[in-house]
Amino acid sequence: MSDKQFPEGFLFGGATAANQLEGAYNEGGRGLANVDVSPVGEDRIKIITGQLKHFDFDDEHFYPAKEAIDFYHRYKEDIALFAEMGFKTFRMSIGWSRIFPKGDELEPNEEGLAFYEDVFKECRKYDIEPLVTITHFDIPMHLVTEYGGWRNRKMLEFYERLCRTLFTRYKGLVNYWLTFNEINMILHAPFMGAGLYFEEGENETQVKYQAAHHELVASAIATKLAHEIDPENKVGCMLAAGQYYPNTAHPRDYWAAMQEDRENYFFIDVQARGYYPNYAKKKWEREGIELDITEEDLALLRDYTVDFVSFSYYSSRVASGDPEVTEKTAGNIFASLKNPYLDASEWGWQIDPLGLRITLNAIWDRYQKPMFIVENGLGAVDTPDENGYVEDDYRIDYLRQHIKTMRDAITEDGVELLGYTTWGPIDLVSAGTGEMKKRYGFIYVDRDNAGKGTLKRSKKKSFDWYKKVIATNGAEL
Ligand code: BG6
């Protein structure tokens, strides 16, 4: 038992995304989305990065999002389990194509709206605060094929309509909103992040930054609307975070790390401070990137900054200015140089609890806005016994160490943190690989990479551990 305390009202919980758990991809009037047509297996990475044009299902691949873990039909059971763990908050996302099946309709699909209303009410029944990502790697396929995804300015209008619909319908039910999941992923997984694919010979960097500009303006419009419709609403941005370390004390390595950090912080610099940083304008100038940015866009960015800064954290990263240093290790979509001081998960993601404290401090120092850790966790292979029970001490260890350094950041460093949601509190489909085998949950789901299994839920050892963490507000880890 520690006498270091998390603040009262700290929001412990878990985080998910529609396409990774709902399934029912063609029920309730839902339209097809980019995430549906991304299969498990080798081709996935080429598809989500926009290198392989793959816009529909075929017989050669398995598409895990079609059924996922069937939360669509089992949400009551799942939310009851979250409530049993004592969740204060549940992060989930809206499947855009449930609300606007094609994306460009004028009227929403009532069945989709009713589904999420029921889910939010179910959360409220247990005093669980919904934390809702408006788009989590999710865009109706029609907007990809007809408009080219976020490269197109028309997306502002469609997204605004989506936001207005959600804020109006869920007024009083939802107060915490995130505009775009891991907005910096647009640079690394542009089909998944923004429905982008590239034609041969096109300037990909230019397209990505144009799409980023559209998302940034859309995010500002969402913040404006959210506050207008309900002053209780709080809107956050969301970054795939993880501070870069220099590979050595050589100044050129420090410089390289700074450049890499800027590539990520660029998005949050705009969303939290309200203007494009000079380093970005200089980069565009140097690289001949010309963006369509209007005065009205700039005014929106300036006037409607976010209320809080949220982020995912799985690992720190390493950069070097020495072209000879190249040994990479896997990470959350984009690889980093290997850090010899750290262990790694079975998927090669390096494990760095202190890096979370470092990242929290870096973000706090930069923005001075309340923060929210909305993803953190260990993807691992679990071996259940005949009852579906898993002795996942490795997961408990990972989370315990991260929660400790997060507590230090609050109690020793004074950062302001609203809450912490672990990624995938119930096993779900991996975004990066499409696998089920890569599990993050406190709750085991009987389903494999090929879609076999009963979908039965069972508690792992970590279930009771996290329950105790929440019950003691983080005093007992
Ligand atoms: C984040 C995403 O990138 O990391 C989640 O927001 C994702 O959607 C999570 O699932 C973990 O990554 P993966 O590839 O292990 O599922």
Single-letter amino acid code for the residue at 282: K
Mean pLDDT of the chain: 97
Tell me, using a 6 A CB cutoff, whether residue 93 lines ligand 1.
no
Which atom in ligand 1 lies closest to the alpha carbon of residue 377?
Answer: 11
Q: Please write the tens of the pLDDT for every residue from 421-440.
A: 999 999 999 999 999 999 99
Inter-residue contact 119 to 76 (CB < 8 Å)? no
**Residue with CA closest to ligand 1 atom 10:** 431
Q: What is the mean pLDDT of residues 299-317?
A: 98
Q: Please write the tens of the pLDDT for every residue from 73-90.
A: 999 999 999 999 999 999
Spatial neighbors of 474 by CB under 8 A, at least 6 apart, are 5, 6, 10, 12, 403, 407
Single-letter amino acid code for the residue at 423: W
CA-based nearest residue to 116, from 7, 223, 255, 22: 22
CA of 280 to the centre of ligand 1 (A): 27
Q: Which neighbouring-strand residues pair with 90?
A: 14, 130
Q: Please write the tens of the pLDDT for every residue from 215-274.
A: 999 999 999 999 999 999 999 999 999 999 999 999 999 999 999 999 999 999 999 999
Identify the helix (H) or strand (E) that includes residue 309. strand 308-313
**Residue with CA closest to ligand 1 atom 4:** 332
Is the pLDDT at 199 greater than 90? The verdict is no
- For the chain, give the percent of residues with pLDDT over 90: 96
Identify the weakest region by mean pLDDT among 169-183, 334-348, 405-419, 442-456.
334-348
Q: Please write the tens of the pLDDT for every residue from 17-37.
A: 999 999 999 999 999 999 999
When pLDDT is cut at 50, 70 and 90, the band that residue 333 belongs to is confident
Query: Mapping DSSP to helix (H, G, I), strand (E, B) and coil, where does residue 418 land?
Result: strand
Spatial neighbors of 7 by CB under 8 A, at least 6 apart, are 410, 417
* pTM of the full structure: 0.98
Tell me, using a 6 A CB cutoff, whether residue 312 lines ligand 1.
yes
Is the pLDDT at 459 greater than 90? The verdict is yes
Tell me, using a 6 A CB cutoff, whether residue 430 lines ligand 1.
yes
Which atom in ligand 1 lies closest to the alpha carbon of residue 433?
Answer: 14
Q: Please write the tens of the pLDDT for every residue from 344-379.
A: 999 999 999 999 999 999 999 999 999 999 999 999
Residue among 332, 427, 433 to mutate when testing ligand 1 (max atoms within 8 A of CB): 332
The pLDDT, as a whole number, for residue 334 is: 77
Tell me, using a 6 A CB cutoff, whether residue 375 lines ligand 1.
yes
Q: What is the mean pLDDT of residues 306-332?
A: 94
122 is known as an active-site residue: no
Tell me, using a 6 A CB cutoff, whether residue 379 lines ligand 1.
yes
Please compute Rg for the chain using Cα positions. 21
Q: What is the mean pLDDT of residues 404-416?
A: 98
The pLDDT, as a whole number, for residue 326 is: 87
Q: What is the mean pLDDT of residues 132-145?
A: 98
Tell me, using a 6 A CB cutoff, whether residue 432 lines ligand 1.
yes
The pLDDT, as a whole number, for residue 260 is: 97
When pLDDT is cut at 50, 70 and 90, the band that residue 1 belongs to is low
Residue among 22, 34, 375, 429 to mutate when testing ligand 1 (max atoms within 8 A of CB): 375
Is the pLDDT at 2 greater than 80? The verdict is no
When pLDDT is cut at 50, 70 and 90, the band that residue 165 belongs to is very high
CA of 181 to the centre of ligand 1 (A): 10
CA-based nearest residue to 449, from 464, 461, 439, 458: 439
Strand stretches in 64-174, DSSP E: 89-93, 129-135
The whole-angstrom separation of Cα 467 and Cα 50 is: 40
Q: What is the mean pLDDT of residues 116-135?
A: 98
Tell me, using a 6 A CB cutoff, whether residue 89 lines ligand 1.
no
CA of 458 to the centre of ligand 1 (A): 22
Residue among 312, 333, 345, 433 to mutate when testing ligand 1 (max atoms within 8 A of CB): 312
The pLDDT, as a whole number, for residue 357 is: 98
When pLDDT is cut at 50, 70 and 90, the band that residue 294 belongs to is very high
Question: Of 122, 182, 215, 375, which is the active-site residue?
Answer: 375
Number of C-alpha atoms within 13 angstroms, CB side, residue 76? 3
Single-letter amino acid code for the residue at 391: E
Q: What is the mean pLDDT of residues 118-138?
A: 98
Inter-residue contact 398 to 350 (CB < 8 Å)? no
Spatial neighbors of 295 by CB under 8 A, at least 6 apart, are none
Q: What is the mean pLDDT of residues 145-152?
A: 98
**Residue with CA closest to ligand 1 atom 16:** 430
Query: CA geometry: angle at 39 spanning 456 and 75, to 5°?
Result: 30
Q: What is the mean pLDDT of residues 442-456?
A: 98
Is the pLDDT at 123 greater than 80? The verdict is yes
Residue among 34, 378, 423, 427 to mutate when testing ligand 1 (max atoms within 8 A of CB): 423
CA of 430 to the centre of ligand 1 (A): 6
